[in-house]
Amino acid sequence: MSSASIKISTKHKQLNCTIPLTGSKSESNRALIMQALSEGAVQVKNISEAADTVTLNNILQAGKQAVVDIGPAGTAMRFLTAFFTIQDGEVILTGSERMKQRPIGVLIDALRSLGADISYTENEGYPPLRIRGPFKPESDQVKIRGNISSQYISALLLIAPRLEKGLKLIIEGELTSRPYVEMTLAMMEQAGIKHQWNENVISIAHQPFTKSEISIEPDWSAASYWYSIAALAEEAEIFLRGLTKYSLQGDSKITEIMANFGISSEFRDGGVYLKKEPKKLERKIFDFKECPDLAQTVIVCCAALKHDATFTGLETLKIKETDRVNALQVELAKIGVKLIEKNQTYKLDCSELDLNKNITVATYDDHRMAMAFAPLALVMPGLEIEDHLVVEKSYPDFWKHLGIAGFELNSI
């Protein structure tokens, strides 16, 4: 069900604030699966308040259920698909209408090749799924394409130590979103799980999780919106608590990307200080292959700054909460900007940019559309975001934190 729209405005173009970000959704979801697989040996601190993480945690805490509905939680769908194959009994795993349109065949084929008993209850290649477990592994090897969602690969790696024969995962072709796979393996190491990664083969033996505590870092994806806000403000000094320079999260690359926009990142006092400094924006090509969740934020920021940049690595955006490429094209057109696609390369045409008007941004049931466009309130007279509670999926305090920064918010 859609929520009300929210109108955003601000008279303050100079920002000075401290923002307490929630824990990383990506880290939290991995840690919760490990905690469940470890049967309590792994403990988790600072779990994200994101709706997706709350959903996953509730399901894992609830125990055996005949039908599990994960709603719009994509990570939960991928991780639980693998998780349920090694649990006792049968379960129907389903989700929202949009989830039923998001392909999962690559993961199902991989699990079936190992011996898992999974069938589709509606459309071939898409949820809902009927999963009967536990399965007896027929092989310890599985092949999977590297240019698909890293969540498929992470789902397999997470259950690998519980498989009788362990797992040798062979990645075919170039691996996209590599930092997310590295995050999974690094977190598993924190829980005592050893692995080997030789060229395109990741090997994990059958082994127990050890008694351990995993503390979740604040969410770099959430931090990215504050980098965009800093870039569009006249002046900005923003402190984001808890973030560290050496992060497992691939989206920490926002520090490098936003340095091109004159945003410096100084790590001290238990967090990072963002500061806007005068800088001519010169970089023309941005590659999001390893950090696709940053794409909307940076593309909208470039559009607002009238920067005709080129973008690559957007292939997975079309199978997210919505077709994010199409959503960007439709919404950017409202400020006169075109996002032109040619052979998997995307270029902004800002020649007709018009920020002197009021617009209403549709969110397409996508939390990142709402948060990527919200910073435009700094450069436009009027901005309205539809279905504002969609942000609860990953950053439930987003609007509250905008208020801390001095933005005026009115629910419509």
Structure tokens at 347: 């270029």
- Let me know if 293 is a catalytic residue: yes
Spatial distance between the Cα atoms of 293 and 316, rounded to a whole number of angstroms: 10
Active site residue: 219, 251, 293, 387, which one? 293
DSSP letter assigned to residue 164 = T
Residues 214, 1: Cα–Cα separation, whole Å: 35
User: Are the C-beta atoms of residues 191 and 220 closer than 8 Å to each other?
Assistant: no
Alpha-carbon distance of 224 to 289, in angstroms, equals 16
- Residue that has been written with the tokens 């395109």 in this structure: 200
Which region holds residue 365: left if phi is over 0, alpha if psi is between -120 and 50, else beta? left
What is the rounded distance in angstroms from the CA atom of residue 76 to the CA atom of residue 50? 12
The two tokens of residue 294 are 């940053």
Cα 377-382-386 angle, rounded to 5 deg: 80
Question: Which tokens sit at 8?
Answer: 């955003």
H or E segment at 359?
Answer: strand 358-361
Angle formed at CA 68 by CA 66 and CA 74, multiple of 5 degrees: 155
Contacts of 369 (CB under 8 A, 6+ apart): 296, 322, 324, 327, 328, 331, 361, 362, 363, 390
Helices (H), 279-379: 295-304, 324-332, 367-373
Backbone phi, psi, residue 153, to 5°: -65, -45
**200 touches 181 (CB < 8 A):** no
Structure letter (DSSP) for residue 306 = T
- The residues annotated with a catalytic role in the active site are 293
